[in-house]
């Protein structure tokens, strides 16, 4: 198996401004490119879900850094495993922001983006 992947979820410490998200993504994409890490970050108002994939040592190191990051807490691994091929080979860090409020019953939780579906399919299936 060539690659290792890890999916975690966490709770944002506070709501980041658009500029702060831009800055986070700028750094993440730059760092990920250097280490040949790809993946996808889903930002919900009350939760982050991120898939990171690459060489196992790099993914474990990034997860360590991530779990110490003050911008979120309760960082919890949902799934991890080895892979022959990447799930998101073209994305140094794909990003999707869903402006849904999970606590608002009027706003039914609707995610249509195919990449987001792919992320949840990976969580649901027996990969790894
Ligand atoms: C939700 C979230 C996602 C992140 N994603 C990445 C990422 O994909 N790649 C990355 O290098 N840093 C990412 N970071 C930043 C890391 O937590 C950390 O700041 C970075 O790896 C530098 O580590 P250091 O501050 O310990 O040197 C993310 C931070 C947050 C809050």
Looking at residue 124, its pLDDT comes to: 87
28 lines ligand 1 (CB under 6 A): yes
Residue with tokens 């996808």: 40
72 lines ligand 1 (CB under 6 A): yes
**Domain locations in the chain as residue ranges:** 3-124
Decide if 50 contacts 7 (C-beta within 8 A).
yes
Going residue by residue through the chain, which has 128 residues, state the pLDDT in tens, using 9 for 90 and above.
Answer: 799 999 999 999 998 888 888 888 889 889 999 999 998 888 888 899 999 999 999 999 999 999 999 999 999 999 999 999 999 888 777 666 664 443 333 333 344 467 777 888 888 886 55
Looking at residue 109, its pLDDT comes to: 38
Distance from Cα 62 to the centre of ligand 1, integer Å: 7
Looking at residue 19, its pLDDT comes to: 86
CATH number of the domain at 3-124, please? 3.30.70.100
- Atom number, ligand 1, closest to the C-alpha of residue 64: 26
Decide if 6 contacts 52 (C-beta within 8 A).
yes
Looking at residue 127, its pLDDT comes to: 54
93 lines ligand 1 (CB under 6 A): yes
- Cα(18)–Cα(24) distance, integer angstroms: 10
């Amino acid at each position: 198996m060539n690659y290792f992947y890890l999916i975690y979820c966490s709770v944002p410490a506070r709501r980041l401004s658009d500029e702060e998200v831009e800055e986070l993504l700028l750094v993440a994409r730059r760092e990920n490119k250097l280490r040949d890490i790809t993946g996808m970050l889903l930002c919900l108002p009350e939760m982050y879900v991120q898939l990171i994939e690459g060489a196992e040592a790099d993914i474990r190191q990034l997860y360590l850094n991530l779990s110490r990051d003050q911008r979120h807490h309760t960082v919890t691994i949902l799934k991890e495993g080895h892979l022959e091929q990447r799930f998101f080979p073209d994305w140094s860090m794909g990003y999707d922001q869903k402006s849904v409020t999970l606590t608002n019953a009027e706003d039914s939780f609707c995610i249509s983006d195919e990449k987001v579906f792919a992320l949840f399919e990976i969580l649901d299936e027996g990969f790894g």
